[in-house]
């Protein structure tokens, strides 16, 4: 059985995962608008992954005897300066999500909620991968700089995800 504190925190995190999905879909739409189709494809798949993350919280809340609540999803930004700016934002967003997951783990320890702690370990591992993937793309964009041909090649590569 979940404590009310843990139930609320899990619902907030479900909301943040769904917001992440909305944010990445908005980034995908921006990339489409500047003809960076490969980046748009990568971000669209990332938006789908975030929905799956949100649903993991939904399923766990129910399985653990809690109640899943649909909190309002904040509207994400819709404009970025460049594709580089988009992926810088992806990385900083994922770093924020990691901090949120760590806070949740700390809460599960404080509440002596071992089941929730165990559930969250999947996300602890996932966040290492999420930050690493975003960090790699940020580094690659820095490497190619503003050379349009190189950026086009990188975009093509991201489209193969």
In the bound state with ligand FEO, the residue whose beta carbon lies nearer, of 113 and 130, is: 130
In the bound state with ligand FEO, the residue whose beta carbon lies nearer, of 31 and 151, is: 31
Q: Minimum distance from CB of 143 to ligand FEO (Å)?
A: 23
Could you report how far apart the first and last alpha carbons of the chain are, in Å? Answer: 39
- Binding map of ligand FEO across residues 38-77, x = CB under 6 A, - = no contact: ------------x--x------------------------
DSSP state of 36: -
Chain centre to alpha carbon of residue 128: 12
Q: Minimum distance from CB of 73 to ligand FEO (Å)?
A: 14
In the bound state with ligand FEO, the residue whose beta carbon lies nearer, of 9 and 97, is: 97
Q: Which residues contact 156 (CB under 8 A, 6 or more apart)?
A: 38
**Beta carbons of 71 and 15 less than 8 angstroms apart:** yes
């Amino acid at each position: 059985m979940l404590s009310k504190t843990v139930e609320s925190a899990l619902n907030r995190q479900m909301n943040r995962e769904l917001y992440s999905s909305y944010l990445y879909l908005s980034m995908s739409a921006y990339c489409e608008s500047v003809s960076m189709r490969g980046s748009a494809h990568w971000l669209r798949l990332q938006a789908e992954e975030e929905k799956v993350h949100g649903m993991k919280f939904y399923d766990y809340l129910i399985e653990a005897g809690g109640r899943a609540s649909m909190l309002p999803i904040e509207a994400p930004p819709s404009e970025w300066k460049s594709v580089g700016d988009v992926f810088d934002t992806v990385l900083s967003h994922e770093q924020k999500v990691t901090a949120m997951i760590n806070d949740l783990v700390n809460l599960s320890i404080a509440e002596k909620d071992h089941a929730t702690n165990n559930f969250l370990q999947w996300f602890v591992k996932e966040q290492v991968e999420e930050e690493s993937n975003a960090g790699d793309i940020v580094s690659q964009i820095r490497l190619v700089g503003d050379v349009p041909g190189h950026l086009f090649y990188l975009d093509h590569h991201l489209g193969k995800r």
